Every structure is written in C-alpha cells, then in structure tokens.
Amino acid sequence: MAERGAHLTTSSLEVDDRPSIFEVIAQESLMGTVRPALQHVVKVLADSNPARYGWLWRWFDEIYVALDLFLQHHYLSQTSASFSENFYGLKRVALWGQGVGSRLACRGLPRRHHWRSLLLLALLPYCRVKLEKFLARLREEEDFSIHLPRAPWKKLYKAFLAAYPFTSMVWEGWVFSQQLLYVFGRTWHHSPLLRLAGVRLVNLTAEDIRAMDLQPLLTAGSGTNQSAHEKLRLFLSQAVGGVAFSLSTGLSVGVFFLQFLEWWYSSENQDTIKTLTSLPTPPPPVHLDEQTDQLTLPKHQSLCPLCHKTRANDTALATSGYVFCYRCAYTCVKRQQRCPLTGYPTELQHLIKLYSLDG
C-alpha cells in the first residue's frame, strides 16, 4: 500500500526537494482560516460596542491587507517564503537565473520575484474580496428592486454579473487541473499563481535552517564596526523583524486554536452547540450610538422613526427589530451600514419587508 501511494508524496521530475501535495494544500488552507477568524473577532467587537469598534469592521479589508503585506514582506525577505509556507518548512526558489538552486533561504528572493510574490500573495486576494463584495451589493440592489438608471453600460453591467460565476468556475477548474498535474509529477507548480510569480516551492534544506539560525548572531556581531546611520538602519530592521516575529508567533499559536474551533463547530458537535446556545430571547436593544440622540421613537406605532410619517412599505431590521419605511431604511443602511436607532452593524440583507393581511 505504501509503494502504491508513494507517487502522491514524491515527484517524477527527478528532484528530491519538491514538497508533497498534502504540504502545499495544507499551507494554502492555513492562511485561508486566518482571515475568517480575525473577521469574526472584529465582528463580535463591532456588535458589542459599535461606537468604539465599528471602524474596525468598516475598514477590516484595508487593515488586514496592510498587516498581510507587512507579514509576507518580512517572511519573503528573511526566509524566501510566505508565512504559511515557512510554517510548513517550505521556501520559494526562482525558476530561472544564476545560482537558483544554491541560493540560501535567508538571503531572500531576487527583487523581481520578491515583488511579484508579494503582489500575488496579498494584493490579489484583497482585490478579489472587494470585487466579490461589489458584485454582492449589485445583486442585493436587484433583489430589492432597485433599478439602475438607464445607461449605455447597463448591458455591460448585466453581462459582467452573468459572466463572473463562469469565470470563477474556469479559474477553479484550472487550479484543480494544476493540482492533478502536480500530484502526478507533470508540473513544477500546484497553483498558476506560482507560475506568474516565476517561482516554485521546495523543501528547506539543512543548510537553510542552519543559516537562518545563525543570521541573528551574524547581524548582531557585525554591528560593532558600523557607522551611526548603518546602526540606525540595523536597529529599525531589527525592530520591524521583532514586530513581525511577534505577529507570526501569535498567528502560529492561533492556528492551533483555529483547528480547535473547526472541530468544535463541526457537524458532529452541532447538537451540543445548539444545546449550549439555546439561550432565552434577549431584551430589546438599547441605544448605543451617542451621535444619534436626536432620533426618538414616535408616539404612534404607525409612524416611521426616521421620517416621522406614516410608514410606507413597512420594513424591519433583523439586527434590531425596529420597523421603518423601506426607502428610509434602505437609504440609511446603505449609507451608514448600521441601525439608525441602536447603532448595530447592519447590511442590506438584514432588511425584511413586512406584509399585512389587510393589504
């Protein structure tokens, strides 16, 4: 059985340093679990105190991409690998160039491959997330019967909405085919992004690990005969490295916590979770946003709290339970992304139209 399955962990390209398919898939899934976990933490903070932590939720994508750029830049410079690749003992090597195979991981990637890798590791996922959010918002506007003004680009807009799922399906199929070719040793890359960056993944060697262990000692010893400017630059470099090391250590510890959460919320534990979370209905939400003190509930229940007129097309907010006019609620939620009375973070999908039997 071991001999029959050996092709899944070894290569037919006659190299011994190529990682197995399990290692490359594991390092990709590692970073895939970090973002949802941080997003959940920020969501909980924003729900608990919108006035103080609401900005973290509104700017989460930008904050995350800045931290991701900082972390990946540090690891690419110090270990020739991303955070998740270094976590699994891998490094990136350039496909072409002089001395490609003998370059130590602590020297980092060549400049061109470094910036290509950084762009594809951090900025490309950010652009994809923003694009998917934009498309989701456009679909929500169509679901709520919000017609766009008639314009020549309306056909292009509808065609783009219709073509994006198929484009995404083609991309996922391409990635899957690359992984199959990688399993059977027909390609150097398990992902098209590595080919675009001009690199491939290999295992760290004993020389790489030894050089990375000695790098801090060599850097500290060379600082005795340097000028003040060079010492300042060395100090800033060590400070940035210390911050990156602390961040990476926190992420490494968080990985094991994320694995525990995945087990805790797995399908096998759904009955236990439902029992633990079956709490009584909470009281009505209190007024949390100090900037909306001028909004008061009308005396008559048939009036809208925003326009103080008789409600037209009653719509409730699922996050707070208050009822408004549809136009008032839609405009306010789209602009502020929160409930106008409670300050709870709210999105357009939380609008619920109410229908009466008399209508």
**116-148 tens-digit pLDDT:** 999 998 898 899 888 888 888 777 766 555 454
CA distance 333 to 348: 7
The whole-number pLDDT of residue 325 equals: 92
**CA 69, CA 82: separation in Å to the nearest integer?**
10
Out of 1.20.1060.10, 2.60.40.1930, 3.30.40.10, 2.60.420.10, the CATH code matching 301-358 is 3.30.40.10
pLDDT of res. 253? 60
Pick out the chain residues at pLDDT < 70.
1-16, 96-102, 141-155, 215-295, 357-359
Rounded Cα distance, 50 and 343, in Å: 6
Burial class (CB in 10 A: 0-12, 13-18, 19+), 294: exposed
pLDDT score recorded for residue 198: 87
CA distance 155 to 333: 27
> Rounded distance, CA 47 to CA 35, Å?
18
Q: Where are the domains of the chain?
A: 21-215, 301-358
Q: Is the separation of the CB atoms in 305 and 298 below 8 Å?
A: yes
Q: Are 57 and 43 in contact (CB under 8 A)?
A: yes
Nearest to 117 by CA among 165, 152, 68, 49: 68
